[in-house]
Amino acid sequence: MSHLLDLQQEFAQSVAKLLQFAKSQGFGVTLGEAWRTEEQAKWNAAHGSGVVHSLHEERLAIDLNLFKEEVYQTDTEPYRVLGEFWKGLGPNYCWGGDFHGLVDLDHYSITPDGVHK
């Protein structure tokens, strides 16, 4: 099996764990973007809402919409609980709340090379 396929499968299983953890913390979650084309990644980067080489293109990133009592969460703190859980799953796990510059609270990813992008 290829390294990328192994990571994609690990990522999918880890997202399931994150969703269960979110539920245990009283959060509702809906799925955002999990895959994007190269063209979409370039468009997002050109418009300031993403990066050119997104891990979404490799199916190693997902955006999750977080709700508490049916209210969409926009503050950092509710996401931080999930981000810390996610990062605790392994050394290559990244949460968008830690990004420098463009903070992306709803983003969870695994880096294939250990470099946090």
In tens, the pLDDT along 13-27 reads 999 999 999 999 999
Q: Is residue 42 part of a domain?
A: yes
Instruction: Find the domain containing 16 and state its range.
Output: 3-110
Whether residue 40 lies inside any domain: the answer is yes
Q: Is 22 a member of any domain?
A: yes
Work out the angle at residue 53's Cα, subtended by the Cα atoms of residues 1 and 50, and round it to the nearest 5 degrees: 130
| Within-domain flag for 86 | yes
Q: What is the C-alpha separation between 61 and 94, in angstroms, rounded? A: 9
In a domain, 117, yes or no: no
Residue 83 domain flag: yes
What pLDDT does residue 51 have? 83
CA distance 35 to 59: 5
The per-residue pLDDT for 116 is 57
Provide the CATH number for the domain around residue 21. Answer: 3.30.1380.10
In a domain, 32, yes or no: yes
Per-residue pLDDT at 114: 66
In sequence order, the 6+-apart residues with CB closer than 8 A to the CB of 85 are: 18, 21
Write out pLDDT tens, residues 51-99. Answer: 888 899 999 999 999 999 999 999 999 999 999 999 999 999 999 999 8
If one counts the domains in the chain, the total is 1
User: Is 115 a member of any domain?
Assistant: no
Lowest mean pLDDT among 7-16, 30-39, 42-51: 42-51
